Amino acid sequence: MGTDADLVIVGGGPAGLTLALGLLRRDPAWARRLLLVEKAHYPREKLCAGGLGERGWSILGRLGVVPEVPAALVGGISVCSALGHHIARPGLCGRVVRRVELDAALADAARLAGLRIIEGCAVKEVDEVAEGCTLQTSIGEVKAGVVIGADGVGSVVRRSMGLDGGGLRAQVLEVDTPRVAADLPADLIHFDASDRSYAGYIWDFPTPIDGELRMCRGIYVLNVKGGEADGVPSGDGHKLVELLGAYLAARGLHIADCRHKRFGERGYAPAGPVATARRMLVGEAAGIDPITGEGIAQAIEYGARAARLLHEAGVEAAPAAWQARLRGSRLGWDLWVRSRAVPWFYGRSRPRLEAAFAAAPRMLLAGARHWGALPQRWGQVGLGLAEGGLGYLRGPRPMLQGSEAAPAAR
């Protein structure tokens, strides 16, 4: 198998594989110009809660890819804040998958479409030269016209561009447990953001493991650096094991009985570069939603949009256009809003924002529909914004527990 290519993709997760699939579906001749290198071997474990909004799933469908992997279908979202508990049920809006299965299925589909994949190939350095890039890898030197960095939070390609880790970094701890009597219905994903001492939340996601429906539970703590979001509590010093352990203990579970899975995440920084003359970043290498840490659907959309640009503009011209194309896209706008909203969600305005959501069940419903790429009912959205605005102005008030979006708002 040759190790040189016009376009080398570093990283075989959803972003890199979707990019390759997007090119190959447009023109099978791309198979002669593409190479993907992946440091691990499929199926490889990827630590991730596994929540995949239907927006990402529908993008795969448009590429003719429907991964046959176990999934827990999501019909609604549950959120707890310091002001109470709210549920929105828009219908099928997402699914929870295991990345070990999803990524392997995408790799199989890409191979079937003609993609060359070299597994067990760890990239150590990437150097940009006039005629392209050279990659120093565990299997020797690889030459590329353009390199796509789809290699996640620890991106070697990103570091080769002289970029730091970013100012919106998160630490995450997750465990898998059985379901217990206190759990919500199995079609709901749950976020508990009731502790304002840190910027983040604890989650409960139903997840399929070895033919059994279990629970993936974890804690996400955002750590803001470099003045990215003033007024947000520092993530330094928070003891994730103790915080998650107390949450589990209230449900009769013991964190000491669970395998601890730790990982980091990188939030998107609107002002940060995502390309040089011969390198482009996609997926978490570029940055994902810093508020929730959602990444799978965004990685898929990154890959699909980069594939379209590469096909339209050509390999050599695409990197120069990628920054503007991303920022002007639906994905770029969505990431910009989420990044700029970090101080509102987790800073000094947090109690008032919680009051806005408490006063407007339609706002959570609109968010669930957005995650699921479901059509918005703009009249209801307008009412929700008006109700939320009043709630924000009034400020925090106690809210009834167990409330749910009214049927009329669905």
With CA atoms as reference, report the closest residue to 66 among 76, 77, 51, 52: 52
Pairing mode of beta strands 140-149, 279-281: parallel
Last residue of one domain, picked from the residues 340, 366, 396: 340
Considering the domain architecture, whether residues 23 and 120 belong to the same structural domain is answered as: yes
Condensed to tens digits (0 to 9), the pLDDT of residues 79-137 reads 999 999 999 999 999 999 999 999 999 999 999 999 999 999 999 999 998 889 999 99
**pLDDT above 60 (res 1):** no
DSSP, collapsed to helix, strand or coil, labels residue 60 as helix
Residue 230's CB is within 10 A of a number of other CB atoms, namely 10
Cβ–Cβ < 8 Å for 86, 193: no
Q: Give just the sign of the alpha carbon dihedral 120, 118, 44, 15.
A: positive
Rounded CA-CA distance 260/243 in Å is 13
Report the domain count for the chain.
3
Considering the domain architecture, whether residues 202 and 236 belong to the same structural domain is answered as: yes
Cβ–Cβ < 8 Å for 147, 189: no
Position 165 scores a pLDDT of 85
| Residue 331: CA count within 13 A, CB half-sphere | 27
Residue type, 183: D
Last residue of one domain, picked from the residues 321, 340, 359: 340
Considering the domain architecture, whether residues 14 and 118 belong to the same structural domain is answered as: yes
Condensed to tens digits (0 to 9), the pLDDT of residues 131-156 reads 899 999 999 999 999 999 999 999 99
Position 408 scores a pLDDT of 34
Give, in degrees to the nearest 5, the angle at Cα 328 between 298 and 60: 30
Condensed to tens digits (0 to 9), the pLDDT of residues 246-285 reads 999 999 999 999 999 999 999 999 989 999 999 999 999 9
Considering the domain architecture, whether residues 291 and 143 belong to the same structural domain is answered as: yes
Considering the domain architecture, whether residues 229 and 106 belong to the same structural domain is answered as: no
Dihedrals phi, psi of 158, to nearest 5 degrees: -60, -45
Position 227 scores a pLDDT of 61
Q: Which comes out higher in pLDDT, residue 232 or 32? A: 32
With CA atoms as reference, report the closest residue to 16 among 282, 397, 353: 282
Domain span including residue 314:
5-50+98-166+268-340
Q: Is residue 83 part of a domain?
A: no
Share of the chain above pLDDT 70, in %: 95
- CATH code for position 260: 3.30.9.10
Considering the domain architecture, whether residues 303 and 389 belong to the same structural domain is answered as: no
Q: Is residue 331 part of a domain?
A: yes
Dihedrals phi, psi of 241, to nearest 5 degrees: -60, -45
Last residue of one domain, picked from the residues 215, 249, 266: 266
Position 130 scores a pLDDT of 83
With CA atoms as reference, report the closest residue to 84 among 298, 316, 378, 360: 360
Alpha carbon distances (Å) from 182 to 64, 74, 81, 89, 173: 39, 18, 18, 19, 21
Whole-number mean pLDDT of the chain? Answer: 93
Residue 342's CB is within 10 A of a number of other CB atoms, namely 23
Rounded CA-CA distance 349/352 in Å is 5
Considering the domain architecture, whether residues 36 and 180 belong to the same structural domain is answered as: no
Position 398 scores a pLDDT of 60
pTM of the model: 0.94
Position 404 scores a pLDDT of 56
Considering the domain architecture, whether residues 22 and 156 belong to the same structural domain is answered as: yes
Considering the domain architecture, whether residues 172 and 162 belong to the same structural domain is answered as: no
Q: Give just the sign of the alpha carbon dihedral 396, 239, 13, 207.
A: negative
Q: Where are the beta strands (DSSP E) in 75-167?
A: 76-81, 84-88, 94-96, 117-119, 123-129, 132-137, 140-149
